[in-house]
Chains A and B, each alone.
Chain A
Amino acid sequence: MNAKLGTTFMSLALLLIAVPVWAHHAFSAEYDASKPLTLKGKVTKWELVNPHSWIHIDVVGPDGKVTPWMVEGGSPNSLLRNGFTKNSLPAGTEILVEGYQAKDGANRAVGKDITYPDGKRLFLGGSAPGAGGGENP
């Protein structure tokens, strides 16, 4: 049969500016736009939960003191559909987090960009033309 409607797979560089409503949701209440930060630490736990996943890391300060941080990320459901599993980010993995700190001063941040120490993006790459494809490590 000749289905009159095919299926379209589109790249991110798309017809529409898809700025989702939720991008401006209560993150602005939870995190402080005036408190950007960069964290470097070793993963202790990866919570694959909804509505947001959380990466827990131990950050070692210049004085050698270890501070646990939790970093907020997106829903993991699409990662799971793309072959990631709960074992994809093992404890001990070192990562770099660029993001913003919690307004209430807690050791909590939203991770705007998360990479390995070599600069490779964690999880999936951006799909803008020319951007490197991120793959399941």
Chain B
Amino acid sequence: MKHLYFAPVCALTIAIVLLSSVNAMGQAKAYTPPKTADGVPDLQGIWSMLTNVPLERPANLGAKEFYTPEELAAQAQRAAAGGRAAAPTQPGTTADVHYDLSQFGLDRGHATVASSNRTSLIVGPEGKVPPLLAEAQKRQQERAAFQREHQWDGPETRPLTERCILWASEGPPMLAPGYNSNLQIVQGPGYVGIMQEMIHDVRIIPTDGRAHLPQGVRQWFGDSRGHWEGNTLVVDTTNFTDRTAFRGSTEKLHVIERFTRTGEETIKYEFTVEDPSAWAKPWSAEINWAKTTGPIFEYACQEANYGMANNLSGARATEKKAAEAANKASQEQQ
């Protein structure tokens, strides 16, 4: 039975929740994707990675991997009725020092989100990222401690996102950044090109069976090699740097992704990550992508990165002010 819910929204969005009658994943009728002229499954188009499913399962759900159709309907009803809107921020607080996302269409109301009945993106009974191995945890803590002390020292100690080197969610594995969560896939003979909107990074994946780059060549995005298994594109990525640090990973990070077109408007994106120096065992996740209206506009980050200069300038001004106040205080004591 299908339920349709309409919610009052801003003029430029539509709130229609379509629920299928299928309860668990994998019980739907198989879909045969169209093929490109080269005869491989066609994944081309502009896709939204945004999902409402958290990476890790809420603790109270235990081993429950899927919501029932009734639970999903109830959630949708709550959302339509106003749900738990983001609490307004208090003036004068750090949280209030920000532009309004919805004013710029960067809120979820202006995005395309594929539906899913998962309780977490991570599959399996645990639904959580496995704990980091002791050594990796130690390294993580040391890095965090260093960051706290030195975070405003200079550009090198700023986050990768702020340095416009890459957006933290780009991976691989690729996760939605929260807004502009779009990517475009273009397929040519022997190659799949994936361009993520933030920050215009292109992954060029050869599917001709060639070997990976030599071990000594490390890249932020690693080095990807693809092949087709039936209707699924399987991509193997190695050669990460040790600064990529996906959830505490090291340069031994190994990512396997699977892309399957599950409908005219949907792709199922799965990934497995393993890193013998970070986790005792591999872990996997599954995310649904939805086709979205583009185009993807250029997200040139480095070129207008006023923020880096402004942040460092602000930090220097704060230090100067603190130093002057300290000087004044010590003079007054004399």
Contact = CB atoms under 8 A, between A and B. Distances in A.
Interface in A57-80: 72-80
Contact of B28 (A2, A15, A17): A2
Contacts of A77: 180, 197, 296-297, 299
Interface string A36-75: 1000000000010111111000000000000000001111
Contact of B95 (A23, A78, A111, A134): A23
A7 B152 contact: no
Interface string B269-300: 00000000000000000001011011111111
Contacts of B318: 29, 103
B307 A10 contact: no
B92 A33 contact: yes
Nearest to B298: A50
Contacts of B92: 33-34, 36
Contacts of B78: 15
A113 B114 contact: no
Interface in A90-133: 99-100, 102-106, 108, 110-114, 121-131, 133
A24 B97 CA distance: 8
B324 interface: no
A129 B81 CA distance: 9
A4 B262 contact: yes
A18 B51 CA distance: 11
A6 B307 contact: no
Contact of A8 (B17, B32, B82, B164): B17
Interface residue range, chain A: 35 or more
A111 B99 contact: yes
B44 interface: no
B10 A127 contact: yes
A127 B109 contact: yes
Interface in B250-269: 262-266
A76 B83 CA distance: 28
A1 B20 CA distance: 13
Contacts of A53: 104
A51 B197 CA distance: 11
A122 B82 CA distance: 24
Interface string B97-123: 111111111111111111110000000
Nearest to B297: A77
Contact of B103 (A21, A34, A123): A123
A33 B97 contact: yes
A27 B310 CA distance: 9
A15 B83 contact: yes
B100 A15 contact: no
A133 B10 contact: yes
A12 B102 contact: yes
Given A7-B114, A74-B106, A13 B99 contact: no
A126 B103 contact: yes
A72 B305 CA distance: 12
Scoring A21, A49, A113, A135 by chain B CB atoms within 10 A of each residue's CB, the highest score goes to A49
Contacts of B329: none
B80 interface: yes
25 contacts: A2-B20, A4-B20, A5-B20, A6-B18, A11-B15, A11-B79, A12-B85, A13-B85, A21-B178, A26-B307, A28-B97, A49-B304, A50-B299, A50-B300, A51-B307, A73-B99, A75-B180, A81-B293, A104-B317, A112-B100, A123-B103, A124-B10, A127-B9, A135-B11, A135-B12
Interface of A: 1-34, 36, 47, 49-54, 72-82, 99-100, 102-106, 108, 110-114, 121-131, 133-135
Interface of B: 7-20, 22, 25, 27-29, 31-32, 52, 54, 75, 78-80, 82-87, 91-116, 152, 158-159, 161-162, 164, 178-180, 197-199, 262-266, 288, 290-291, 293-301, 303-307, 310-311, 313-318
